[in-house]
């Protein structure tokens, strides 16, 4: 079995060594330009077209939860990978726990009004504020995939009402489910905190816009953990300035790194992190890849395969 690996920033030596340990007998090599030797599997992140083009691969693994980067390449270069070649994403591999930590910490930050107290501190103002109540603090999950289910579960443990919206209806215990565009408005009108975990597809680009934000509860919050292209940043700023929204926490942006001239940097109601909400944990990712390859070799259909027509 031959496996080729390419990632522009990962520690290649570590990955090659650990993959060789986890998949005995496999010949694992770092792909370099000009390498057209046979391969059975490819592990990639932002791969050059020539790495995959013309190969008869059993499967390709995207080294992250999102696959939009490779799908955008396939749209421009459909010859890069036949539709019959399975494409897998890292379904969790430690990202679920990281997303839970991030979402719970931020929701509690808003719920306990720490954002307001921080503004009071800057104004040298000492004034206890009225408590919020959990029953009035409904969390709406925009996107209901593997990571969304993990985040919803963690927020339920804190007693918050949780709802989700996705393409198809979910049956998560204790979570109110909305599906399709015809139910998006009802989902939004009952939501106080909107958490975005949508996949990046043609249908979801720009979905968090003025029209959507106007339907949220007044004084609501937006937490974007998915992709920057989902959010119209100017519409978010306008909603914050008008008082429609009370706060936003952003981990992803339409341009990364965020340009120094962006007004998001200076807005008092916007908090930010540099796309770190959930990163690939090598040991867990390698374990998942090794297990999935073993299943494929045994003729078993594993989870995590991407529907290239849907984009996730």
**Active-site residue list:** 227, 275
Owner of token pair 């919206």: 165
Q: Where are the beta strands (DSSP E) in the chain?
A: 2-6, 27-30, 41-44, 59-62, 87-88, 139-142, 162-166, 176-179, 193-196, 220-224, 245-250, 270-272
Q: For 236-292, give the DSSP string.
A: HHHHHHHTSEEEEEES--SSSSPPTT-GGGT-TTEEE-SS-SS---HHHHHHHHHHH
CB 264 within 8 A of CB 251: no
- Rounded-to-integer distance, Cα 137 and Cα 7, Å: 41
Six-digit token string for 206? 């720009």
Vertex 73 angle, CA 71 and 77, to 5°: 115
Q: Which strands, in side-by-side order, build the sheet including 41-44?
A: 27-30, 2-6, 41-44, 59-62, 87-88
């Amino acid at each position: 079995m031959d496996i080729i690996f390419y990632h522009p920033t990962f520690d290649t030596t570590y990955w090659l060594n650990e993959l060789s340990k986890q998949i005995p007998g496999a010949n694992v090599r770092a792909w370099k330009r000009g390498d057209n030797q046979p391969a059975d599997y490819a592990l990639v992140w932002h791969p050059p077209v020539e790495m995959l083009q013309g190969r008869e691969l059993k499967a390709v693994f995207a080294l992250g939860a999102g696959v939009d980067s490779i799908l955008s390449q396939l749209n421009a270069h459909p010859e890069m990978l036949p539709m019959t070649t399975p494409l897998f994403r890292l379904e969790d591999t430690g990202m679920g726990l990281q997303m839970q930590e991030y979402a719970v910490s931020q929701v509690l930050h808003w719920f306990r009004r720490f954002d307001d107290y921080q503004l009071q501190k800057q104004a040298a103002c000492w004034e206890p504020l009225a408590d919020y109540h959990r029953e009035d603090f409904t969390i709406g999950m925009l996107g209901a995939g593997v990571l969304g289910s993990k985040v919803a579960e963690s927020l339920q443990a804190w007693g918050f009402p949780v709802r989700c919206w996705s393409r198809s209806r979910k049956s998560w215990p204790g979570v109110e489910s909305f599906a399709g565009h015809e139910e998006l408005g009802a989902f939004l009108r009952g939501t106080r905190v909107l958490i975005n975990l949508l996949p990046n597809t043609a249908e979801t680009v720009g979905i968090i816009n003025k029209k959507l934000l106007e339907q949220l509860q007044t004084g609501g919050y937006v937490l974007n953990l998915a992709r920057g292209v989902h959010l119209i940043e100017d519409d978010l700023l306008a909603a914050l300035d008008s008082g429609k929204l009370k706060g936003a926490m952003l981990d992803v942006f339409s341009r990364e790194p965020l340009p120094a001239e962006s007004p998001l940097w200076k807005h008092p109601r916007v908090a930010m992190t540099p796309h770190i909400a959930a990163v690939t944990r090598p040991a867990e990712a390698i374990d998942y890849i090794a297990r999935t390859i073993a299943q494929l070799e045994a003729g078993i259909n594993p989870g995590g395969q991407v529907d290239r027509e849907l984009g996730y």
